[in-house]
Structure 1
């Protein structure tokens, strides 16, 4: 590794000093003829190609005569919803032609919502509150997300906060592999596939672009990007961009805000040598969005805004949203449910050709995040439980009962690096690599006061805090988790018959070590926890290129998902009756494993592209959280992480799209059939008289709709442009017992705009309007709180198992957002 570090350091130092030997074509240069109309059959991508330096624009056949400042070519297949793929597994992707015409500020999940397998629900049009997603029935915590080659999933619970990732104006493509991760994918949670996001490169010429938007719910957004062009006599170039967005939450008094900045620098030289540096900064000033039960949705729908609403419901009966009134709302006052967050990401993916046959690729990165989710509780400071001890506490000199602010805060430091060497010798390519990461995550939950106006003293709960009589700051959670990842991988690709037949085989071995320190007293595991997991992950694939247009592939892969860090710790309120915390650790859990097989066919013609893939999964040790009752009435209970047993999934994905066929139209359609079944009877809640299991074997898995279908029609004649899309998602179960579900729905969106000729220094100024949820359909879009059973059920052994309440997210209503943009 010493040589690797030296090469990495030298590369970064050289970022601004290396001379230019070959200047690549700028992706933003307009009105330049395309070099080629077709591409020849060439060796396909290897099974490890997550790094941005592995993904080239040349992978896409381009017929466009020129490219506008926003990346639109007017010739991308399906309006930018399909790109040419050569991997021996299922991959779908969106490109600039589609991204640039969507709602300003759209998050990456919204951008891929029409692709096969992607079940996405947004709670606002502009992506300020984030989206929810499942892929082939696996939720987003089981899908690995990368940006510029580094992992985006939270290191503790693997959640993806899509509103924090990137401005869509700077995204070149969003690629989704529905079945498996690449060998070099830096993930601990990719049993359900991966989503890789790649940023646009800086332009070779000075310039930039801007757009401003305004629309429904006082939605306001501005974006500005400045490109340096080539600096001096080098290929070094960069850009700086920033955006600000705000939007009111429907039927509430909330205003969500986002401040975002990005920069990227690139230098390339010689035969494919390249170094780059991307830095992304994000600051959210958001409010939490309440998830609702089926009962509250049926009664209140979208909720009421105030007591004078025609429905006449007082604020105390609010259920779909947090209350706008401090005096009436109490703990439900919306300013006590804030969600501030700060993120800084940096990545430096680089490639060095050490010889004609040997290439080194490195992706060093650093991930910093700090934020919380707020809540409030009535607390009696004169009687506090600190483990087994009953103590008093004081807050700013007072010790009495009252409403206190209690946010859950996480602070993460996460450096890492993915390094790999690729040796090409004739028809064979050998890749060896190593991913290392060392993260620290501090998770706390102190209590602080609330002012007379109903606002918390400090939204970060930085102080003053409630302090116990023993001098300890009172918290319901206080942990420090250190995670070390050592992952070695090797892959070999053999190309035969003039690159028509390609055989891939790979092996990854992951070693993950977690060291935990629980600062709460009297926990079941003690203050220190050390746990390690080792997981071998073999892969294999075959691709046969029948001719330049027809391709067949078959693949098999093994992926894994680590238990979350919450599984290591007791937390919450201490119950003196049961002598335990309300959340219990479950340290001895195995990793969740998926074994996936795919067989597919692709057609890549001059005008039409299409693919169809059959897939099969076997899951073992599926991890989920469950409430366990300790008595028949469930007056005493705890929550813990459990092993959900096995699951089997079968299905078919298909998509088809065209280049302009007539009247500048480019249609696209996708479809998925999914049958995901539980293979085990899940543990139910403990009841008076013993333990039992829910009869779930053979039931349909939650968040796994049987059918999804999407259609998009894009029109662009160079001046007038527009698009219309429709997405159908069938019924989704919210419990493992299939005793509660949300209905299927149809969602329609549209956009229309006009692109003017250049005006002075402005390039292709245009105006457009985006319409979301055209029919203003009010619906529950996604299951947020999966439960074992919603209704009281008799277990396998005849005991009564009490039901729990699933929760759901409310999908965004109709909105219209107008935008003006231009390059310069």
Structure 2
């Protein structure tokens, strides 16, 4: 029996980059960024785009041997994070609204043509506490485990406005001195409180036979999720919104050891995912017009996935892993980022049905004269199974098109050297092009990266155990040029199109994450 206490704390301060469209990337490249110096009246100053996050995690895993082959496991935990994210924008001195109520004269100076630059401050606090408890009984070749997981999560979050002075300085980036209406009400883009409760019961039965060469596992989990969002904003049609889901999740797995070095395996699993974050449950109202700009999502069904995998592993001088897989999704939740009320929030789009099939292969060599080469590759063919509903109520002709954010080909080739003292490595990665719209009318280009590292481990000295120095060279060959690494916000269609029922559907451009160019990093470390 035993118990542990694990505590971690982290704080970060950074500035949001500017996320380009494909057209902006082609025109400006890495020069498409925020202004490094403040221009009076402009909201594009980089200091308006600050992001601060503090996080603490506490866990206490415990296990108890109760005799009679019974073992109990308890893991209570608590996670807290808070901070704020700022985005540059502007407010009208006389034409702004608190919800649907005119805010009156805000009397903020300096003013530029009746408006003034602000930093929209999104402040949040996240509290997540839970307990995972299980009891295992081992009898002969069989191990039976039953367990229960409970978690409670709360997240109050609000977006306010902080005005800039003539030099572009903000009195408080954390929202201490917000802009208020003539009546004294703090102006908000939104002001929500989000709650989630998770109850999950599970049972797992594992069986070994033929001298442990055959291993069988069957499991079942029932997850029950309840979500609720409340928002205090005048003029919104709904004060409270939410949903509850109960999802059955069976799983079967089997493996057979053909020889001591060769194994075949087959897995059948299920999984689910709720819509990302709270924005799917919220209504939004514009501070510029006092009118509702977006209602909460109507289709809040969770994603459900059924997956099958068949594979072969060989362990020896040459290590081999080959697998074929098939995934079927309903209510596919595609994670994205959108701007609501001027701020960036994580959300998801219900992409309907999706089928993904493919294969992976990995080959690696055990150290030979201190050298270990490695190669891997994956092919995946992912298609959308139905037409996607557009915001207009019509449907886009997406059935049969390729899924977003899914490159068909990825590959890695590398080699390591390590003689116990001197070490180094070279790794090349290739990621194929991937669509960023459901209509497949825009895609992110393929990209390659080449990274190198080398260093030296010294002999132990005093209380220092094998201190080492290492140099990492990132993105060799790119120079100072960056590249598009992923989609920041997906779109339904990058070009205007006509829906199934003849409705004109306007275009919207996806935006992208820009990865850095070449970097050299030196690190020094030691054990104690």
Q: TM-score, normalised by structure 1?
A: 0.60
**How far apart are the structure 2 equivalents of 1:360 and 1:655?**
37
The Cα of 1:625 is off from its aligned counterpart by 8.0
Change (3 A) 1:356 1:548: farther
Q: Is structure 2 residue 194 aligned with structure 1 residue 481? A: yes
Partner residue in 2 for 1:816:
520
Q: Is structure 2 residue 503 aligned with structure 1 residue 799? A: yes
Change (3 A) 1:669 1:374: same
Partner residue in 1 for 2:327:
617
Correspondences of 1:631-642 after superposition (within 5 Å):
642=349
Change (3 A) 1:365 1:355: same
**How far apart are the structure 2 equivalents of 1:699 and 1:682?**
11
Q: Is structure 2 residue 269 aligned with structure 1 residue 557? A: yes
The Cα of 1:563 is off from its aligned counterpart by 2.2
Q: Is structure 2 residue 35 aligned with structure 1 residue 323? A: yes
Partner residue in 2 for 1:675:
381
Change (3 A) 1:518 1:395: farther
Say which structure, 1 or 2, has more relative contact order (CA 8 Å, 6+ apart).
1
8 A Cα contact 2:162 2:173, kept in partner: no
Question: Secondary structure of 2:51's partner?
Answer: strand
Change (3 A) 1:799 1:673: same
The Cα of 1:795 is off from its aligned counterpart by 2.2
2:433 aligned to 731, 735, 745, which one?
A: 731
Question: Secondary structure of 1:448's partner?
Answer: strand
Partner residue in 1 for 2:487:
783
CA distances 1:461-500 after superposition (whole Å, capped 9, x unpaired):
12x2222344431101100011111111111112222222
8 A Cα contact 2:101 2:234, kept in partner: no
Partner residue in 2 for 1:50:
none
Which deviates further from its counterpart, 369-378 or 479-488?
369-378
Partner residue in 1 for 2:160:
446
The Cα of 1:756 is off from its aligned counterpart by 2.6
Q: Is structure 2 residue 307 aligned with structure 1 residue 591? A: no
User: Normalized per residue, which structure has more helix?
Assistant: 1
Partner residue in 1 for 2:104:
392
1:721 aligned to 419, 423, 429, which one?
A: 423
Aligned length: 516
User: Normalized per residue, which structure has more strand?
Assistant: 2
Question: Secondary structure of 2:300's partner?
Answer: coil
Change (3 A) 1:760 1:679: same
**How far apart are the structure 1 equivalents of 2:53 and 2:506?**
37
Q: CA RMSD in A?
A: 2.4
The Cα of 1:685 is off from its aligned counterpart by 4.1
Partner residue in 1 for 2:247:
535
**How far apart are the structure 2 equivalents of 1:625 and 1:656?**
32
Unpaired runs of at least 5, structure 2: 339-345
8 A Cα contact 2:227 2:244, kept in partner: yes
**How far apart are the structure 2 equivalents of 1:770 and 1:750?**
6
CA distances 1:772-804 after superposition (whole Å, capped 9, x unpaired):
001015321111111111111222233322211
The Cα of 1:680 is off from its aligned counterpart by 0.9
2:18 aligned to 290, 300, 313, which one?
A: 290
CA distances 1:197-247 after superposition (whole Å, capped 9, x unpaired):
xxxxxxxxxxxxxxxxxxxxxxxxxxxxxxxxxxxxxxxxxxxxxxxxxxx
Correspondences of 1:519-530 after superposition (within 5 Å):
519-524=232-237, 526-530=238-242
8 A Cα contact 2:109 2:165, kept in partner: no
Change (3 A) 1:625 1:717: closer
CA distances 1:643-701 after superposition (whole Å, capped 9, x unpaired):
3210000011121223212x200122211011111101112342xxxx42211111111
Change (3 A) 1:507 1:575: farther
**How far apart are the structure 2 equivalents of 1:392 and 1:624?**
40
1:709 aligned to 406, 411, 416, which one?
A: 411
Question: Secondary structure of 2:43's partner?
Answer: helix
**How far apart are the structure 1 equivalents of 2:337 and 2:20?**
18
Correspondences of 1:49-448 after superposition (within 5 Å):
273-303=1-31, 320-327=32-39, 330-392=42-104, 394=106, 401-448=115-162
The Cα of 1:398 is off from its aligned counterpart by 10
Partner residue in 1 for 2:452:
750
Change (3 A) 1:449 1:289: same
**How far apart are the structure 2 equivalents of 1:775 and 1:642?**
36
8 A Cα contact 1:556 1:596, kept in partner: yes
**How far apart are the structure 2 equivalents of 1:436 and 1:652?**
36
The Cα of 1:580 is off from its aligned counterpart by 4.7
Question: Secondary structure of 2:42's partner?
Answer: helix
**How far apart are the structure 2 equivalents of 1:513 and 1:744?**
40
1:602 aligned to 293, 309, 313, which one?
A: 313
Change (3 A) 1:737 1:722: same
The Cα of 1:602 is off from its aligned counterpart by 1.1
The Cα of 1:810 is off from its aligned counterpart by 1.2
Question: Secondary structure of 1:701's partner?
Answer: coil
8 A Cα contact 1:586 1:642, kept in partner: no
**How far apart are the structure 2 equivalents of 1:574 and 1:766?**
55
**How far apart are the structure 2 equivalents of 1:750 and 1:731?**
24
Partner residue in 2 for 1:106:
none
Q: TM-score, normalised by structure 2?
A: 0.92
1:763 aligned to 465, 476, 479, which one?
A: 465
CA distances 1:504-532 after superposition (whole Å, capped 9, x unpaired):
111111111122211112223x2123421
2:398 aligned to 696, 705, 710, which one?
A: 696
